[in-house]
Amino acid sequence: MTYPICLWDQLPPVSWDALLLGNGASIALDTQFDYRSLHQLAQSEDRLPTSGPLFRMLGTTDFEHVLLACWHAYLVNLMIPPSSPNIAAVYQEVRDALIGAVQQVHPDPATLTNDLGRIGVFASQFKTIVTFNYDITLYWAMQEYNNNKKMTWFKDAFRDGVFQSDWQTYRQPYGCATGATLVFYAHGSLALARDVYGSETKLTASPWAPGAQSPLLNNIVDSWRVGTHVPLFVSEGNSDAKLASIRRSFYLRTVYDQILSSLDGNVVVYGLSFSDNDRHIIRALKNC
């Protein structure tokens, strides 16, 4: 049996329930996202001369995993003499490599002004959006849409930087809004972080004027640089490694078990290849 492939504009009017976004969506927005991995980018520019073997020993290319390992080793090193400055140096190298790679590939909203408006309008027709991208372009589009409409249409169930376990209540329209779109970051985000005690938070910044630089990306980089937080996003590894990272996070685990596994109705998939590295996504969707 064959099925016709239609252009989006040719589809009959329908009420869309959910949108899944993969890296292809980010690449369509800006070709700077068309890279194989942050780790490969950092290696190609020789940003990991000392810590490269640590990635290999831990069997990962995920910056979050290595940063946490260095962080915990550093704290133990402080408490149990003799202490070594090498651990702090390795942590700083990994952190600076991540900062450099992100700054190199992530565009500024000033270059995306027209696109962000269109993204907000398109995304607002869905009840639920689950993105597997770590970049903050969707977050910018949500913020711009809410600001322009002077209402809270897009929500991600974070309040004062903390994810609310009663996220279902956020489906209720707020204020003058007649509906709502809930957005979840299934693989984390640059805007999500955790401290040494494991507490997870969303980093924020004040709105920006159209065409101006956003302070959010600078706030994110600053929080990494001063060492108060490590990023909470899964950007590397095979499917099993990604799922292991998801299981280590309360927020990511909640999105995987409660949101991704309960999607129903009409679902649009954009930019996800469903490759071997996405097997954990397929397993979750099978539970819908």
Confidence of residue 40 (pLDDT cuts 50, 70, 90): confident
Check whether 206 has a pLDDT greater than 80. Answer: no
User: In the Cβ-directed half-sphere of 77, how many Cα atoms lie within 13 Å?
Assistant: 15
Determine contact, residues 187/132, Cβ cutoff 8 Å.
yes
Q: Give the model's pLDDT for residue 170.
A: 96
- Two tokens at 115? 């696109």
H/E stretch holding 26: helix 23-29
Q: How far is CA 59 from the centre of its chain?
A: 22
pTM of the model: 0.85
Mean pLDDT estimate for the chain: 87
Q: Which of 46-50, 89-93, 182-186, 202-206 has the highest mean pLDDT?
A: 182-186
H/E stretch holding 67: helix 63-79
Q: Which of 55-59, 166-170, 202-206 has the highest mean pLDDT?
A: 166-170
Higher pLDDT, 165 or 1: 165
Residue 220's CB: how many other CB atoms inside 10 A? 24
Q: Give the model's pLDDT for residue 34.
A: 65
Confidence of residue 167 (pLDDT cuts 50, 70, 90): very high
Higher pLDDT, 260 or 214: 260
Q: Is the dihedral of CA 265, 270, 274, 279 positive or negative?
A: negative
Closest CA to 95 of 218, 188, 234, 225: 225
Determine contact, residues 260/130, Cβ cutoff 8 Å.
yes
Q: Give the model's pLDDT for residue 193.
A: 93
User: How are beta strands 200-202 and 128-131 bridged, if at all?
Assistant: unpaired
Determine contact, residues 206/9, Cβ cutoff 8 Å.
no
Dihedrals phi, psi of 228, to nearest 5 degrees: -80, -25
Check whether 35 has a pLDDT greater than 60. Answer: no
Q: Give the model's pLDDT for residue 209.
A: 52
Q: Give the model's pLDDT for residue 251.
A: 98
Q: Give the model's pLDDT for residue 282.
A: 93
User: In the Cβ-directed half-sphere of 248, how many Cα atoms lie within 13 Å?
Assistant: 18
H/E stretch holding 278: none
d(CA 170, CA 173): 8
Q: Give the model's pLDDT for residue 14.
A: 82
So where are the chain's domains? 8-30+107-286
